Amino acid sequence: MEFTKRYEQLNGKSQRIDLLTSIRVNTTKISAKKLIERLEKKGVTLGKVPFLENGYYIEKSKVSISALPEHLLGYYYIQEAASQIPAELLNITKKDIVLDCCAAPGSKTTQLAEKAKAVIALEPNEKRRVALLNNIERLGLKNVIVCDQDARTFKPKIKFNKILVDAPCSGNYVLEKGWFKKQSIKNFKTRAELQKQILENMINLLNKNGQLIYSTCSLEPEEDEMVIDWALENFEIKLEEIKTIGDKGIINPFGIRLNNEIPKTKRLWPYKTNTQGFFIAKLVKK
């Protein structure tokens, strides 16, 4: 498939970038100030990611940051900058019980747990759960329930005020070598069906005025704006404006006119934001 043309039609580019490694400070264990000082002594220089609360770029490092004692002690999580945005947009407080419906490997689960009263993390894949459980233990979080549960069929007795749907997606070219060769529109449409099934169940589990963040690391409208357009068409929800980096969501991908609210979503083109490709929408139940 010719992605160059496809992305040009979306007013974007498939331009490669050198993605900076970033981390998130686990403030339940250490302050950013102390971590910066400790890592500096080991030849690691951190630079603040301007659009994140606890996100830092690794500007210089003489060592592997995944093998440092501070990483193993749970003082930080190696997490790409764009991936840190969705959890921040839920404005979590200590009163919130948050549902994270596609949880492994746990970057966003652990990010939510730092601020929430409790996090319910759904992950049906046993292999993927290894990383999730590992990260919860390493970060020392005492308020996470991990469930062997598919998000599409989850039927709890309670509803939620805050839900994160970081949906399974086809990814993007920044994260994976040879990504363009592996992908097809058919793949995107298959993924979109799964994403809609998950989103439908999660909207049903949302309280009135409850907030839901839908995010993917895909740049394909079939998995992003078009999924949200479908949700706006079929459920009692509205979109809320998002204040973060990135472009407005595309209202007419490939000439298809979508809902007028779609520009309230955010689309992160790697060559513009210096992050991986990302899409975020904030839904509120009417």
Partner 1 sequence: MALQNKYSRVFHSKIGEKMINNFIAKFTKEKIPFIKVKIKYFLENKELEEISKQLNCKIISASLFLGEEEETFKPSLALLEILSKTSKEKVFLTDIGEIDFIYGRKKLSKRHIKSMQGKNRRKLVQNEYDENLGYCKVVDEINIKNILDCGDFLRREKKSKTCIN
Distances (CA, A) of 43 to 3, 38, 69: 40, 9, 14
Taking alpha carbons only, the member of 85, 117, 124 closest to residue 103 is: 124
CB of residue 38 vs partner 1: minimum separation in angstroms? 9
Residue closer to partner 1 by CB (options 8, 37) is: 37
Please report how close the Cβ of residue 138 comes to partner 1 at its closest, in angstroms.
5
Q: Least Å distance between CB 149 and partner 1?
A: 4
The answer to whether 102 and 127 have CB atoms below 8 angstroms apart is no
Give CA–CA dist 213/185, Å, rounded: 25
Q: Give, in degrees to the nearest 5, the angle at Cα 206 between 201 and 212.
A: 90
Q: Which is nearer to partner 1, 142 or 286 (CB)?
A: 142
Residues at the site binding partner 1, with contacts judged by CB under 8 A: 66-67, 69, 72-73, 78-80, 83, 97, 105, 107, 117-118, 120, 122, 127-131, 133-134, 136-138, 140-149, 154-158, 166, 175, 217
What is the C-alpha to C-alpha distance for residues 186 and 222, in angstroms, rounded to an integer? 10
Q: What distance in Å separates the CA atoms of residue 285 and residue 166, rounded to the nearest whole number?
A: 18
Shortest gap between Cβ of 2 and partner 1 (angstroms)?
27
The tokens describing 275, both together, are 């992050």
Q: Which two tokens stand for residue 30?
A: 């250490």
Which residue's CB is nearer to partner 1, number 22 or number 265?
Answer: 22
- Does 217 qualify as catalytic in the annotation? yes
> Which residue in 101, 102, 169, 217 is the catalytic one?
217
Which residues are catalytically annotated? 217
